Structure 1
């Protein structure tokens, strides 16, 4: 048992000593890096004793120096570098950057061909015992710089209209014996900083100004990746931004990369660049960027549509026409840009009528629209079937025509234009880039003078009782010139039962009246409820009758007739002249029927007779029984 414990103790001490041994680590090699670009060698130490901040020393063993050691740089000795590195260390081109106390990296800002060789990272001991690995080495191969980038033309200094298409090209190539990948990135710097035209080598962040945004790229794994900032991901999914690689035509030609923006927006303004990067897969299975070049493509200024879009109407101001005259309005749209690449929705809106106070009266309604798909549709207000047209006469010129204008067409007309910048076929729910309204043009329609009056009364006859037919007459008088017709509508307001509040009527208007029936100017009856007991007819040229068959208690109330005059235009069409007359109200009260009046006395009489008979019978029976009882007692 004792020997077993001794063996276990010795094994545990050996394991602890092994775990606590110093170990220095470098990336696996060989590492291929490009001359003129940075080299970064991370070195870490673990399992050490002593302070947490460890010192690091780097040595280089050149292949052409026969294994001779050259001191590169040290974290504890400023005089450590050998002659080949002294000036470079002093200028900061070769330096040490610490990630933590036990992690540091050797950085060579610009590699030279003579920097190729085996690099050793050595950590001076701070341990009580000399155990473990105090250094590690890795081979670095310096390969020539073959990365090339260029472009055929730069952005012009002229502003680009919002919604216009932007196309940027960039050609790049790399020739390397090693297997490397090439990534291409199109980006923009905010603020519109000045841009040069030369290609310059640089570090990962070299020469990149603030507010840098990647627009789209072909990554190191050869897939297209949209920028994560802004809305580039959404625009890429919607097909508004794309990046295409085109192979060179002849052998040795560089590949061409073409970035397209279907519709630029003001937020796309800035200084654009193309960046080409060469990548290699290190033995540690990590991708490393070994070369990079940036080509400035110029400044882009996007002019907002709000600064250029104009919407005007012809004629302007105020126009007065006679009823039945044709009406023609033209909407001219300018400053859209992008030509046929931007879809337009053009609407004609009208507010108010001559009888509503012109510009201030009535709600604004849509008269007609020319959709983005080129289809014309009419609003509910002017759906007259062949009564007008709307068409695109030329680019930016849209005309609304009413073949025969009527007083109902009076009001203030405006042309409303919605622009979908850079989108030829926007979806139904796609928001417009900008919507702009024209100044209003007031259209007044002169009508012939019309005088109209109406008087409502109950038809003569016996008292009205429940179940009878109630007849109401409306006498209309019209004074005008030319043909005319009358349209009569009956309105009714119910009487609330005595002692009760009037229940709200959902079909009633604001004043509590509800429409019952109308006799149109064409002689057609139009009912506003499902009641079949109501009818309307014309007894004489100026007399109109409303009949309520089988009248009930809910038919009691106040009745009004409203007469509207329709005139005929020179083309034979009928229109509402706006002349309107409303009669005084007539109250309808229903009396009870004779059978209803006799019912209560009959019930009372029968009940009283029964009660009296029962009392008499009971009294006689009681007296007879008392007398019979006395006779028995005497015997």
Structure 2
């Protein structure tokens, strides 16, 4: 009996729960909702726990504050003639409409809110249930506040042309005077360039903004984010006149992709009772079109003097590099280099490994001057920045090695005064070449290499080679002598070995040793024999190879280069040089080496004969002894 009563009670409770769960419920956001006259308003409404079709109908009513509880039909999803007279024109023009989010969720939309639209809005759902139970409507209060959002700008862009790397500064003033607590957001953005009719096309991009929670936020994309992180994109707020706040956006260096129509947008936000931010007013101002010209189109690098210039030996040489077509303000870093191209023969390039083009000096963006070879200039030059965009190279005493074609190469780092070590230049451009010729004094030089008279050279002897140098010139002169060896190499069958002449000898010799014009000896040989080089008379230079071996054989030449002295006392290479004819060095075998062969042959023969004799005698003696012992 008790069990049956418990079951009835449990079933009754379950039915009550199911009935409760299935009760219709209509939901709108909590109020009051503050919205601004003249701007759009959207009120969501949803129904749950209903029976019947999944597409529910909705009817909206308005109870104005001064209507004393009388309702006005605004719009219905099932009856096109539902709206009262004040709303009928607005419904027909779709200024007031219902938009469906789903079958059981809609939103009431006012395209342009009016002051008399203030009141309590009721969302009602006609019943599709078998029983009338639950909540069939819900309402929310709407407060319409006046429009107090103001926005203006101080300077417009009217088809303005900017050079790549120039700084762009845009200002926008905005204010809102509301009795309610609202926030103001400011956004600077860009669209495609405006057309002649004043309209704009293309994708809109936000550059930087102060958002509704008053936080600073760069636009989406790596470009604006990176600029913001590097401090190249900023947005500041400062107080203005008349209660207006001034917002200043600065881009330290514009790029060609920054071309377009710029605008400033101000939005008024309010925090609704449900905790979500709602945009209740917005105004946008077109600041104007901006066109950014690439540096590659505007940059100009020129050098003076132009064409060809001839200077006397030891005279100063001045070259000037001028850079134009850059954005004003000097916000871009410049790397300025002077490049010299010298006429280098193919033969010299093979021997020395030199190339025709070399860097003389550079002026880095941070003002540091670096020379290709400080020791070679000996403080005899300078590179200076005279004015913005003007750089001067000075050689106080020109030498023959300074002749060649000079070009000024400029690398521009747009918007970066001091670029990082891994920073890539925006553009690099060279000037036309300036040909520099040096008037040098005439220098004649000749070289003659020879072996001194003496006995035949043998392996292990000291080989002595002499080089007699004759120099005809005016003024002080010194000679630098190099000794080169051309080694005998075998010629491959079917042709000659690469780098060999007809006799199977290296065409290009290797440097064994040298004696500089300063009297310093330098040894380069890789052979096992020791070598030395010295000067035995004013015109004679000597090379000695101690304990010469087979690999020291070959053809030897001496090469002489003449160094002169300029009026400042600095020694320089005149470029005059001469090379001697080949001197053949052949090493004969020593006497002890010649006696070694017969000695070895003789000893070997004697031992062979002795062994044969002993073997023969022993064999015969053993046979005879065996016959004597045999029984008769």
- Please classify the TM superposition score into its range, dividing by the shorter chain length: 0.7 to 0.9
Residues 563 and 73 of structure 1, relative CA distance in 2, 3 Å threshold: same
| Structure 1 residues 491 and 126: CA distance shift in structure 2, 3 A | farther
The residue aligned with 1:336 is: 326
Equivalent position SS for 1:471: strand
Q: Alpha-carbon deviation of 1:20?
A: 5.3
Separation in structure 2 between the aligned mates of residue 624 and residue 129 of structure 1, nearest angstrom: 149
- Kept in 2, the 8 Å contact 1:353–1:409? The answer is no
Q: Is the 8 A contact 1:214 1:229 kept in 2?
A: no
2:396 maps to which of 394, 398, 403: 403
**Deviations for 1:192-251, whole angstroms, at most 9, x for unmatched residues?**
45799xxxxxxxxxx9753222111111121111111461111111111111122458xx
The one of 367, 374, 380 equivalent to 2:373 is: 380
Q: Is the 8 A contact 1:96 1:104 kept in 2?
A: yes
> Contact between 1:457 and 1:473, CA under 8 Å: does it hold in 2?
yes
Distance 2:294 2:476 in 1: 56
Q: Distance in 2 between matches of 1:423 and 1:194?
A: 35
Given candidates 91, 95, 115, the residue that maps to 1:93 is 95
The number of residue pairs the alignment matches comes to: 616
Q: Output the CA distance in 2 between the equivalents of 1:490 and 1:499.
A: 28
Residue matched to 1:456 = 449
Question: Residue 350 of structure 2 corresponds to which residue in structure 1?
Answer: none
Residue of structure 2 equivalent to 1:84? 86
- Matching residue of 2:273: 283
Name the structure 2 match of 1:436. Answer: 429
Asked whether the 8 Å contact 1:353–1:410 carries over to 2, the reply is: no
Q: State the match for 1:327 in structure 2.
A: 317
Aligned match of 1:533 in 527, 530, 534?
530
What residue number does 1:214 align with? 206
Partner of residue 517, structure 1: 513
Contact 1:346 1:369 in 2 (8 A): yes
| Distance change >3 Å, CA 392–CA 59, structure 1 → 2 | same
Query: What TM-score, normalized by structure 2, do the two folds share?
Result: 0.87
**8 Å Cα contact 1:489-1:563 kept in structure 2:** yes
Distance 2:245 2:409 in 1: 47
| Conserved? CA contact 1:195–1:299, under 8 Å | no
In the TM superposition, what whole-angstrom CA distance separates every residue of 1:174-199 from its partner, at most 9, and x where no partner exists? Answer: 23333322211111222145799xxx
1:31-46, aligned counterparts within 5 Å? 31-46=33-48
Change (3 A) 1:631 1:14: farther
Q: Work out whether 1:465 is the aligned partner of 2:462.
A: no
1:588-627 superposed matches below 5 A:
588-627=585-624
Shift of 1:618: 3.6
Name which of 540, 545, 551 aligns with 2:542.
545
Task: For residue 489 of structure 1, report the CA deviation from its aligned partner.
Answer: 1.3
Q: How does 1:98-117 map to 2 (within 5 A)?
A: 98-117=100-119
How far apart are residue 318 of structure 1 and its match? Answer: 1.2
The residue matched to 1:235 in structure 2 has which SS?
A: helix
Contact 1:354/1:410 (8 A) holds in 2? no
Q: CA deviation at 1:466?
A: 2.6
SS at 2:551 equivalent: helix
Name the TM-score, length of structure 1 as normaliser.
Answer: 0.87
Q: 2:582 aligns with which of 585, 594, 598?
A: 585
1:78 Cα deviation (Å)? 1.1
Alpha-carbon contact 1:194-1:271 (below 8 Å) kept: no
- Is 1:180 the counterpart of 2:182? The answer is yes
Q: Distance in 2 between matches of 1:414 and 1:53?
A: 79
The whole-number CA distance in structure 2 between the counterparts of 1:239 and 1:40 is: 40
Cα contact 2:344–2:356 (8 A) shared by 1: no
How many angstroms does 1:533 deviate by? Answer: 1.1
Cα distance in 1 for partners of 2:234, 2:386 equals 35
Q: Does 1:273 align with 2:263?
A: yes
Q: In the alignment, is residue 348 of structure 1 matched against residue 338 of structure 2?
A: yes
Please state how far the C-alpha of 1:109 moved relative to its aligned partner. Answer: 1.1
CA RMSD of aligned residues (A): 3.4
Among 149, 155, 168, the alignment partner of 2:151 is 149
Measure the CA separation in 1 of the matches of 2:518 and 2:206: 69
Mapped partners of 1:618, 1:8: distance in 2: 133
Cα distance in 2 between the residues matched to 1:165 and 1:194: 26
Gaps of 5+ in 2: 348-353, 501-505
> Relative to structure 1, is the Cα distance of residues 553 and 136 closer, same or farther in structure 2, using a 3 angstrom cutoff?
farther
Is 1:243 the equivalent of 2:226?
no
Q: Contact between 2:160 and 2:289, CA under 8 Å: does it hold in 1?
A: no
- In structure 2, how many angstroms separate the alpha carbons of the residues matched to 1:436 and 1:229? 30
User: 1:296 and 1:609 mapped to 2: Cα distance?
Assistant: 119
Aligned to 2:503: none
- 1:224 equivalent to 2:216? Answer yes
Counterpart selection for 1:164 from 158, 163, 166: 166
Question: What SS is found at the alignment partner of 2:618?
Answer: helix
Indicate conservation of the 8 Å contact 2:359/2:372, yes or no.
Answer: yes
- Does the Cα contact within 8 Å between 1:213 and 1:229 map onto a contact in 2? no
Secondary structure at the counterpart of residue 145 of structure 1 = coil
